[in-house]
Structure 1
């Protein structure tokens, strides 16, 4: 039997590369696997040779100890790979296909999937709607920061690239289709942004930068990105964004200097529950972003909220934060008739069209997020540097497919 290596969470602040079982078309018992999913047969699945798997800010929440993730949970929900084996029920995906794997696991059969709400599939996680690879409370599907991984419901879930050789040439851009590009784009679209809109994006991490690139792709007139990290603001400016330095306090005054008014048409939260207050050396204040967006979005504007919020946070700053209860100025949002869209991005709603934008050179998403390939064995370093605020999107390269690939 072939070997398999994968990145696993050990304890707060620590991951390591471990030997794990080669995947099969059956979900085995293991760390985080829901009891009702153990032994689940997947003749509708495929085995992928992982060509690229990205480190995500959502993974960092687990690695920081801010979730109930169990020891030895194999990480990784941003996966691009080559099909090397398929189950007997797979009809359209073929061995040799190069594919993007949406981080949402979806059956394609339930009511929500049929309504394109693939982030909240009803059949893949016994505990709650929605599932993902390598993530706490998401059904226990083994993560893809590995050499090989199993993907269920392959005909429905997988986005096949039309030309495998072309896909490998653009792999560093295409690997962003599994999560952060659709997620950032979803945040912008769900905020109501359109051609000519002014948009403020809170957070210049990879999702925020992907949202900014998506806003530009949509034709927004002004895209403003706010953050506390100077290097990340530099990265946002590198592809034409305006920026707000949140170490200087509330963003309203800086936005007014840019636009002539302190409000924007639309706002996006690309930070989530580990938000910090505005100002230099600020402390954690998890409702900061949501409250500031309600101040900054004009009356009748919209808020897209792809930033992650959780129902359980052992490291929360108080009893309310530990259960995801935040002190929101909902009255302000109500008075301004704001719309709010939250939850996992339904990746399949966007990934096909964003793939076309990449393949036809309409967007350079790898450059926007500063995609940086590293070896699988270097994953612990990548996690540590990302946690320290590096303005990079680390992409694991387990088989060398990215050795000679650069951003488009």
Structure 2
């Protein structure tokens, strides 16, 4: 049985590539594993040889010590791979299939799954609704920044690529289907983006850039991306976005310069709970800034998509309320403007097949737009460091050297 090297969280600001053991069709005890999940049998699962596995901003929150993630947690929830072993209950997925793995783990049997709410499956996490690979408080399913990983409920969860050779040619793009492309798309869909829309995207990290890409795919007329990092704004500008530098102050004035009016049809929060302020406060953490800004700059009757991560436990927060996820948001403003809000994890399976088709038929270049950068698995610690410093890149780990 081969070794299985993986990226392991070893404390604030520290990850290591270690041998974590080869995956099995059973949940074993370990860091972050819910006790009620220990011993759970998984005959409906498969073992994947990981082709691509990405570093996500959500991983970075954990590595910064901004969650309750335990030391020793195997990280990684953005997985693309080749099926090399199937459990006895797997019927339709076959050995040799190339597949995308939604970061949500879903059973396909509960009420929420049957309603398409796969981000809040009721059966895979004994603690609360929703589960993910290598993620804090998500049931303890082993992460996929690794050489090999086990995926449960394979017939339900896995998106099979129709042609292996074509998939490998476009693997950098297809690797974005596990999380950031559907997540950005979900942010835009729930914000009501459509043909002719004017759109404000807060954050030019990978999810923000994926949201901007999605807005264009949905027919937006103008897409404005806001950030405080020059390199990230340059990356947004490279594929047609207007950019807003929040270090220069309140975005309303810059929006008005671009549109001739200070409000947009739709807004997306792709930042989340580690948001900074604007203008003189641009280097100070102000966790409610983005939420309040998108309410302010969205027209009355508009909608807000909020795929940016917010947590119920943040030991590094600036005040006691924020440590429990309580923020000073201007709900009265949102109410007065009759704004619609959509929060929570993206239900990846709602979108990933359609977005796969857009990639395979050259309707979108998501890897180019997010500046996908492939590195070997053993360079993951360096990738985490550079990403934490604001690199305008989406790091893709290549555990087996299979990506051109």
TM-score range (shorter-chain normalised) is: over 0.9
Q: Name the CA distance, whole Å, in 1 between partners of 2:216 and 2:148.
A: 35
Cα distance in 1 for residues equivalent to 2:310 and 2:195 = 29
Name 2:352's counterpart in structure 1. Answer: 351
What is the CA–CA distance in structure 1 between the aligned matches of 2:21 and 2:42, rounded to whole Å? Answer: 16
**d(CA) in 2 for partners of 1:393 and 1:279?**
27
What do the CA deviations read for 1:111-168 (whole angstroms, capped 9, x no partner)?
0000000000000000000000000000000000000000000000000000111111
Residue of structure 2 equivalent to 1:215: 215
Partner of 2:242: 242
Partner of 1:297: 298
**2-structure distance, mates of 1:162, 1:383:** 32
Deviations 1:183-242 (A, max 9, x none): 000000000111110000000000000000000000100000000000000000000000
Gaps (5+ residues) in structure 1?
A: none
Query: Helix, strand or coil: the match of 1:22?
Result: coil
What residue in structure 1 maps to residue 9 of structure 2? 9
Structure 2 distance, partners of 1:11, 1:78, is 21
Give the equivalent residue in structure 2 for 1:79: 79
TM-score in terms of structure 1 length? 0.98
Equivalent-residue separation in structure 1 for 2:165 and 2:85 (angstroms): 19
Q: Which residue of 2 aligns with 1:320?
A: 321
Separation (CA, whole Å) in 1 of partners of 2:41 and 2:369: 40
Q: Are 2:261 and 1:261 aligned?
A: yes
Aligned to 1:173: 173
Counterpart of 1:366 in structure 2 is: 367
Aligned to 1:19: 19
Query: In 2, Cα distance between the equivalents of 1:214 and 1:192?
Result: 12
TM-fit CA distance, 1:169: 1.0
Counterpart in the other structure of 2:192: 192
1:331 Cα shift? 0.4
Which residue does the alignment assign to 1:54? 54
1:282 positional shift: 2.6
1:394 aligns with 2:361: no
- Specify the alignment match of 1:336 in structure 2: 337
Question: Are 2:242 and 1:279 equivalent residues in the alignment?
Answer: no
Q: C-alpha deviations, 1:51-86, integer Å up to 9, x for none?
A: 000000000000000001011100000000000000
- SS of 2:200 mapped into structure 1: strand
RMSD of Structure 2 on Structure 1 (CA): 0.5
> CA separation in 1, counterparts of 2:302 and 2:144?
38
1:361-383 alpha-carbon deviations (Å, 9 max, x no partner):
00000000000000000000000
Structure-1 separation of matches of 2:252 and 2:305: 18
How far is the alpha carbon of 1:279 from its aligned partner?
Answer: 1.6
Shift of 1:34: 0.4
Q: Deviations over 1:81-117 (max 9, x none)?
A: 0000000000000000000000000000000000000
- Partner-residue secondary structure (3-state), 1:40: coil
- For residues 400 and 174 of structure 2, the distance between their equivalents in structure 1, rounded to whole angstroms, comes to 17
TM-score (ref. length: structure 2): 0.99
Cα distance in structure 2, aligned partners of 1:289 and 1:20? 38
Give the count of matched residue pairs.
403
Corresponding residue of 2:382: 381
Q: Which runs of 5+ in 2 are unaligned?
A: none
CA distance in 2 between partners of 1:30 and 1:149 (Å): 15
